Structure 1
């Protein structure tokens, strides 16, 4: 375990050494941002709308007592979406889509000796392959989380319109009542941490792949599993510290 942790820290240090040619690294960062951000937008949008709608319906069902204001369902749905649903569930989905892609891409380059060729040419392979992915993850996962929050709250509104579980006016009123800015801070910290976890852990598993095609698949699977576990662990730590 400690050996793996040491290799992970060493890989991160090598990844963020001064680049040989900044323009090449910049182009790679832009390409990764497009892949992570634009490529993941569709699945994040679909999941966010449905999760927001389901959360609102379930909260309205649980608060069916006439003694409880119906608008409270909007407040609970808002806080749950911003604090937990949008950042954490989006990160788990991204771990499957983005993380497996990163691990398999770098793992394939390792087993086909492309990484060895880069190192022979004097290129800092971790810096060229891993740093742009981490930078893109830290940049794009928070942006995807913002979109997820907006679509999740919109999905809750659509659920009110089409199911009548609560009136749309009560839902809007609940969204505006008792807003605490700390939940936005927690959401931002979580999304940045999740972006780093997904990209770095999956890149690590891909970079140290040994064998052939079967091992590449196993590295991708390990990267996704470890990322999901660390996302949930980080969720607990960040929530405990900031709330």
Structure 2
């Protein structure tokens, strides 16, 4: 019982600190003189440096999903529905969530380790002494970059995974390039694409804010840096699943599914 009580106290304390950190982010974001140069640098680091990993994963994901789905559809005589089924599954759910989880692993851990190292080596304290606003420079720029780049990476992953699915369709069958894309876009609607895109902005924000929070609150030397990077990945991944569940419920209530 004491252990459970301790866990509950730690959970609510962590949730409160994260909420206060998020509120501070919005306060700093509303102030003038944004760090645009650092924002562009972080967009390059978060977006371009993650593109290869996301692209390879998306391609394999589309290819494997098509190969795995074919036998079931052949059994029911619905092989012609393969492009439509795969495209809806990838665009609605699989591609955005898998991309967000990849970003949670790479970006979340990177932010936690980077800011954690700066925290324990007192570089953040030195910035405050020198008159620089470390929160705006380090946190706001990184969170905004993650919020912008995760939807872009997700959109690219959608396109790459659909191309992988095209190759998967033609491994044991033959569907022309034009017919494949006609079936893909005929099956999709704005009700599939827009909610999928909107929720990736929330994924990106959650990944950025959790990674920066864990790094900014790091302590206990190098051991704390490692713990910050690890917990950033865990919490960010959990947040992705929670936000995805909320998004599914909202789109269902609004009749967009």
**Conservation of the 8 A alpha-carbon contact between 1:138 and 1:195:** yes
Deviation at 1:127, TM superposition (A): 1.6
Q: Kindly indicate whether residue 34 of structure 2 is the aligned counterpart of residue 27 of structure 1.
A: no
Cα distance in 2 for residues equivalent to 1:21 and 1:238? 33
Aligned pairs, number: 238
**Conservation of the 8 A alpha-carbon contact between 2:113 and 2:225:** yes
2:222 is matched with which residue? 213
Cα distance in 2 for residues equivalent to 1:176 and 1:100? 36
**Conservation of the 8 A alpha-carbon contact between 1:73 and 1:174:** no
Q: Which consecutive residues of structure 1, in runs of 5 or more, have no partner in the other structure?
A: none
Secondary structure (helix, strand or coil) at the match of 1:64 reads helix
> 5 Å matches for 1:121-132?
121-132=130-141
Pick one of 161, 174, 177 that aligns with 1:167: 174
The 3 A distance-change label for structure 1 pair 157 and 131 is same
Pick one of 50, 56, 59 that aligns with 1:49: 59
Q: Deviations over 1:23-43 (max 9, x none)?
A: xx0001000000011000100
The root-mean-square deviation of aligned C-alpha atoms, in Å, is 1.7
Pick one of 219, 228, 244 that aligns with 1:235: 244
Q: Which consecutive residues of structure 2, in runs of 5 or more, have no partner in the other structure?
A: 1-10, 253-257
**Conservation of the 8 A alpha-carbon contact between 2:117 and 2:222:** yes
Pick one of 179, 182, 191 that aligns with 2:188: 179
Deviation at 1:64, TM superposition (A): 1.1
- Please report the TM-score for the alignment, with normalisation by the length of structure 2: 0.87
The 3 A distance-change label for structure 1 pair 61 and 172 is farther
Secondary structure (helix, strand or coil) at the match of 1:210 reads coil
Q: Deviations over 1:117-168 (max 9, x none)?
A: 122223322221111111111111111111000000000111123x21x432
Q: Kindly indicate whether residue 75 of structure 2 is the aligned counterpart of residue 65 of structure 1.
A: yes
Cα distance in 1 for residues equivalent to 2:195 and 2:80? 24
Deviation at 1:66, TM superposition (A): 5.3
**Conservation of the 8 A alpha-carbon contact between 1:37 and 1:140:** yes
Q: Deviations over 1:159-183 (max 9, x none)?
A: 123x21x432464453133322111
- Please report the TM-score for the alignment, with normalisation by the length of structure 1: 0.92
**Conservation of the 8 A alpha-carbon contact between 1:73 and 1:171:** no
